[in-house]
Amino acid sequence: MTDNTPTRSSPTQRLSRLRPGWICKILLALVAVAGSLAVCELALEMFAPAPSHRSKLSRSIRLKEHRPDSDEINVPSETYLSDTEGLEPGEYRLRTDSDGFIEPSQIHEHADLQIFFLGGSSTECEFVPERQRFPYLAGRSLEKTTALRVNSFNGGNSGNHSMHCNLILLGKIVPRRPDMVVLMECINDLITLTYTGSYWNRSEQRSIIVETSPLELAALRRASPIKGAEALLKLTFPEIYLRCRAARDRFRTSGQGGASDEWASLRNRKLQYDPKQILSEYRRSLEMFCRVCRTYGIEPILMTQPNRCVAEPSPVVRRAFEKSVVGMDFPYDRFRGELAHFNEAIRSVAAEQTVFLIDLERLVPKEASHMYDIVHYNAVGSEFVAKIVAEKLREHLPDPARRADGGRQSAPGS
Q: What is the pTM of this model?
A: 0.80
pLDDT digits (tens, 9 = 90+) for 15-49: 555 556 667 777 788 878 877 776 776 666 666 66
- For the segment 356-369, what is each residue's pLDDT rounded down to a tens digit? 999 999 999 999 99
User: What whole-number distance in Å separates Cα of residue 341 and Cα of residue 289?
Assistant: 19
Residue 58: Cβ within 10 Å count: 10
C-alpha to C-alpha distance for 339 and 158, rounded to whole angstroms: 18
pLDDT of 407: 42
Predicted local distance difference test score (pLDDT) of residue 55: 57
What is the percentage of the chain residues whose pLDDT exceeds 70? 75
Dump pLDDT digits (tens) for 98-136: 999 999 999 999 999 999 999 999 999 999 999 999 999
Confidence of residue 14 (pLDDT cuts 50, 70, 90): low
Residue range 81-96: mean pLDDT, rounded: 95
HSE value, Cβ hemisphere, 13 Å, CA-based, for 115: 27
Peptide bond into 104 cis (omega under 30): yes
Predicted local distance difference test score (pLDDT) of residue 83: 92
**With 90 as the cut, is the pLDDT of residue 271 above it?**
no
Q: How confident is the model at residue 263 (pLDDT cuts 50, 70, 90)?
A: confident
- pLDDT at position 30, please? 81
Separation of alpha carbons 355 and 48, rounded Å: 56
Q: What is the pLDDT of residue 408?
A: 39
Based on the number of CB atoms within 10 Å of its own CB, is 302 exposed (0-12), middle (13-18) or buried (19 or more)?
buried
Task: Say which residue, 400 or 355, is predicted with more confidence.
Answer: 355
Rounded mean pLDDT, 254-277 = 74
Per-residue pLDDT averaged across 72-91, rounded? 94
The predicted structure's pLDDT at residue 223 = 45
**Among 263-272, 292-301, 328-337, which stretch is predicted with the lowest mean pLDDT?**
263-272
Residue 289 has pLDDT above 60, yes or no: yes
Mean pLDDT, the chain, integer: 84
Question: Could you give the CA distance from residue 383 to residue 381 in angstroms, rounded to a whole number?
Answer: 5
**Radius of gyration of the chain measured on its C-alpha atoms:** 27
Q: Is 69 helix (H, G, I), strand (E, B) or coil?
A: coil
Sign of the Cα torsion 246, 251, 254, 257 reads negative
Measured between alpha carbons, how far is 185 from 341 in angstroms, rounded to an integer?
13
The pLDDT, as a whole number, for residue 28 is 80
Q: Sorting pLDDT into bands at 50, 70 and 90, what band is 201?
A: very high
Q: Which residues pair with 118 in a beta bridge?
A: 155, 183
Mean pLDDT, residues 71-85: 94
Q: Are 303 and 347 in contact (CB under 8 A)?
A: no
What is the pLDDT at residue 27? 77
pLDDT-based confidence at 258, cuts 50/70/90?
very low
pLDDT given for residue 238 in this prediction = 63
What integer pLDDT is reported at residue 212 of this predicted model?
74
Please check the confidence at residue 294 and state whether its pLDDT lies above 60.
yes
Q: Report the alpha-carbon angle 75-93-190, nearest 5.
A: 70
Residues 6+ apart with CB under 8 A from 344: none
**Helix extents (H) in 296-397:** 315-324, 332-352, 379-396
Pairing verdict, β 71-74 and 92-95: antiparallel
> For the purposes of burial, counting CB atoms within 10 Å of the CB of 258, is it exposed (0-12), middle (13-18) or buried (19 or more)?
exposed
**How many other β-carbons are positioned within 10 Å of the β-carbon of residue 4?**
5
Question: Facing residues of 377 across strands?
Answer: 371
* Element of type H or E holding 371: none
pLDDT value of position 414:
33
Write down the pLDDT at residue 189.
98
List pLDDT tens digits, range 202-247: 998 899 999 876 554 444 444 455 555 666 566 566 666 666 766 6
